[in-house]
Structure 1
Amino acid sequence: MNSPDTVHVAVLGSAGAQGSAIADALDAAGVPTRRISRTGNGSGTAAADLRDTGALTAALSGIDVAVLTLPLDFSSEAAHFARNVADAAAASGVQRIVFNTNTRIPDEITDAPGFETRRAARITLETGAVPVTIIEPAVYLDNLLAPGVLTHSRDGSVLRYPIPEGLPVSWLAASDLGRAVAAACLNGRGGEVVRPGRAPLTPEELAGAIEGAIGTSVRFEALDPALFEQGLAAVAGPNAAAGVASIYRWLTANPGSTVMAAPAEQPAWMPQPATASAWAADFLKPVASKG
């Protein structure tokens, strides 16, 4: 195990929700951390566009481990970004790359850009000169905080999410992704693929876990991925929404898939993530009784 204060880590994409959670976890662990974003906005944040290999090389100078989280770009640019990072890491002497793929990636080739652009980026990094640790999260509990996902009425609460009934998912909080990636920076190995998460829950089991936190009954309804895409497009734009929705379309069309379920065994260094019940107790407000 490496001592936290002797490993210098750069977090590419630190301005995003996942990247900032990773950088925060590294800071909390006492790891010297350099935040890097496209614009460099924020105190102590370096600027480097993923399209600019020269800027990336300069930003990674003196870094031992580079963490990459791609933006919500589901075009062929994802692999191009990965190539630039691989080349810059090699040129600047980075010893290892930790790639957060944003999602699990099925073994089989799919028609979903949300999966396939991440597969292409992963292959690009793995064929580079710098060893790579792959982190594949499943679905974020934080997504349940989006408007319209958990709604309340006199008849109880409804959890609406674009996955099929019975699908096993190792739900993970963004903060726990951060802790998993921070641990991988210190303890992971090149060629290792890690899929963090607790024992999977079906949507119906997740609804049950939420019930105790909010104090009312919760039932699950599978949301049409097309409706999910419409709502996300208003916030993230149509291209990003289409890419994310493609993952949920594939899952809906493959309800027997176990790709989102974590393996039974995790590396010894992997931090234990919060349970869905504990997360709900921290982030969801109890529902007032209605007389």
Structure 2
Amino acid sequence: MTYMIHGATGAQGAPVAAALIAAGKPVTALTRDADAVVDGARVLAVDYSSAADLAEAYRGAEGVFVHLPVAPEEDCLAFARNIVAAVRQARPARVVFSTSGGLASTDGEGGRDDSAQSAVSVVVTGLADSGISYAVIEPRFYLENLLLPNVIAGVREEGVLRYSLPSGFRASWASHLDIADVATVLFERTDVTGVVSVGQYPAVSGEELADAFSTRLGRTVTYSATAPHAFFAPLAPMLGEQAATAIADMYVAVSTRPDHSITAERSAQKLLGVTPRTPSQWLAGIDL
């Protein structure tokens, strides 16, 4: 029995695959590229467009790690329904789903707007109703976003960390490596179900992120808030116009809240005993 890891050659899935391989687990890397190579893993070409292909991949699996790609919401809704249909048909032993920053909680952490069905809510509700052992990893923002070309260039060249959150706004940041740590534990801790929030608690501000860069580089880095649509516009060629606009819209909505923090009650710290890296700890492993 193997662990099926979606996006195992990408930013989110690769650390999960690597962590499981390092732990001696059999891993199958699910990727759209049949020629991809993942050291220590079998590679299987499959994507989210076919529920039948997904079910074939999931059948007999010890665990499945799944997340939705960066794509227009209409496409993600179709992918979400295919994932749920495949899980119900194949019935793998355990499914761990990362919301990739979307909110699945309804316990006061920000919640979701159930008046408008989202792709994340389709997967979360579908897993909850499937009868399959599952858990949902719910991060807020990824520290790796701070390495985007339009962010890191300002840090290196001007000593300015520009990001699309207001000055003083606190958020629970996490690394993809933290997600991998939590996913690995959740495959073992089948007693833990539902939402597990991953990120810094207490939450940190942009100014505190800039301080971490200052310490890492040995020179002053300051924080500068940038309007979300202006911030994400240069990334449209990489993300796609629709996806970039949708992400910017999300940041606009988030910025109207008091903060974007996880709560202690649903945190990986409390539920699993897994503490995420601080920004300084994360930066220590980054070649700047």
Measured against the shorter chain, the TM-score band is 0.7 to 0.9
Structure 2: unaligned runs, 5 residues or longer: 104-109
SS of residue paired to 2:285: helix
AA matched with 1:35: A
- 104, 111, 118: which is aligned to 1:107? 111
Distance 1:236 1:268 in 2: 34
Distance 2:138 2:55 in 1: 25
SS of residue paired to 1:271: coil
Tell me if structure 2 keeps the 8 A contact 1:225–1:249: yes
Report how many aligned residue pairs link the two structures: 274
Distance 2:163 2:12 in 1: 20
Tell me if structure 2 keeps the 8 A contact 1:96–1:190: no
- 1, 15, 20: which is aligned to 2:9? 15
Tell me if structure 1 keeps the 8 A contact 2:150–2:234: no
SS of residue paired to 1:148: helix
Distance 1:153 1:58 in 2: 47
AA matched with 1:248: Y
Distance 1:130 1:102 in 2: 21
AA matched with 2:22: A
1:30 lines up with 2:34 in the alignment: no
Identity %: 27
> What does residue 52 of structure 1 align with?
50
Distance 1:118 1:169 in 2: 20
AA matched with 2:235: L
Q: More deviation in 266-275 or 30-39? A: 266-275
AA matched with 2:124: R
Deviation at 1:165, TM superposition (A): 1.7
> What does residue 68 of structure 1 align with?
66
Tell me if structure 2 keeps the 8 A contact 1:135–1:181: yes
AA matched with 1:15: T
Matches within 5 A, 1:252-267: 252-254=255-257, 256-257=258-259, 259-263=260-264, 266-267=269-270
Distance 1:135 1:129 in 2: 18
The 3 A distance-change label for structure 1 pair 22 and 244 is farther
* 1:10-46 Cα distance to aligned partner (Å, 9 max, x none): 1123232111122112212222211112343413211
Structure 1: unaligned runs, 5 residues or longer: 1-6, 286-291
Q: CA RMSD in A?
A: 2.5
**TM-score after normalising by structure 1:** 0.84
Tell me if structure 1 keeps the 8 A contact 2:198–2:262: no
Deviation at 1:203, TM superposition (A): 0.9
Tell me if structure 2 keeps the 8 A contact 1:229–1:245: yes
The 3 A distance-change label for structure 1 pair 245 and 260 is farther
SS of residue paired to 1:195: strand
Deviation at 1:120, TM superposition (A): 3.3
Distance 2:190 2:234 in 1: 37
Higher RCO (CA < 8 A, seq sep 6+): 1
1:215 lines up with 2:237 in the alignment: no
> What does residue 181 of structure 1 align with?
183
Deviation at 1:188, TM superposition (A): 4.1
The 3 A distance-change label for structure 1 pair 78 and 129 is farther
Distance 1:118 1:13 in 2: 17
> What does residue 137 of structure 1 align with?
139
1:85 lines up with 2:88 in the alignment: no
* 1:107-162 Cα distance to aligned partner (Å, 9 max, x none): 14299x9x9432333223323342321001111111111122142589x6111000
Deviation at 1:195, TM superposition (A): 0.7
